[in-house]
Amino acid sequence: MARMRLDKLLAHTGWGSRKEVKKMVKEGRVAVNGVPAADGGLSVDPENDTVTVDGQAVSYRRYVYLMMNKPKGVITATHDPSLPTVIDLLDPADADRSIFPVGRLDRNTEGLLLLTNDGTLAHRLLSPKRHVAKTYAARVRGQVTEEDVARFAEGMVLEDGSRTLPAILKILQSGGFSDVEVTLYEGKFHQIKRMFGVSGKQVVALKRLSMGPLELDPALPPGTYRPLTEDEVRRLREAAGVE
């Protein structure tokens, strides 16, 4: 594990902003291996040095896993010169940890988004070879029928000639506007919109509900996020085949 500045370690582990952390160090509240720290710029080894604040041990996790309920109007990117990104919604201490979104949701698609600095897990979850399931709730202009269900289940040829893998379409309510759930095992560009487009229907709202075993927390308002629980991380890593 690479060494890092003491103030950066404390900010990353939720003890406050860099400014607040430096104040705590100056007040003598921070110790490294039992010795009061004299400078927030002190180089520490997060895995082998014992860091305490007011006698309480600081627990450092190399990897961060965050569940966000992505709101509409925000793009899934780490930076954009003109549009708000999901990274802009993070607290500075979280945004400073090389966090990136796993996969993409369209600007006006909302719902579950995983953010992490674990590149191996992200790669496995997005790998076409693993076919990690992703389930979405959609509102569709037009009456969705059992014929659509069958076409989704068989896989279909899109407008560009590419063929999709079989997908699960569940009709919740059908009419002039239909409410459905769709489970995909791949991630083609605008795939759900394009699949409905083949039969002349238009997706007017889309929300991701789950990714593998990870389900969107119903208590998480749009635009907010929380760390994954240890059990959620364990099940996600198992689904991705990560040791």
Per residue of the chain (243 residues), give pLDDT as tens: 578 889 888 877 778 777 888 899 999 999 999 999 989 999 999 888 999 999 999 877 778 899 999 999 999 999 999 999 999 999 887 886 689 999 999 999 999 999 999 999 999 999 888 899 999 999 999 999 999 999 999 999 999 999 999 999 999 999 999 999 999 999 899 999 999 999 999 999 999 999 999 999 999 999 999 999 989 999 999 998 887
> Which contiguous run of DSSP H or E holds residue 89?
none
* Residue 156, phi then psi, degrees to nearest 5: -140, 160
Query: Among the CATH numbers 3.40.50.150, 2.60.40.10, 3.30.70.580, 3.30.110.40, which is that of 65-128+213-240?
Result: 3.30.70.580
> In the chain, which residues fall in CATH 3.10.290.10?
4-57
pTM for this predicted structure: 0.80
Closest CA to 110 of 209, 227, 218: 209
Neighbours of 3 (CB within 10 A): 13
Q: Which residues are catalytic?
A: 106
For 196-213, b/e burial (b = at least 16 CB within 10 A) is beeeebebeebbbbbbbb
Three-state DSSP state, 171:
strand
The contacts of residue 61 (CB under 8 Å, 6+ apart) are 13
How are the residues of the chain apportioned to helix, strand and coil, as percentages rounded to the nearest 5?
A: 25, 30, 45
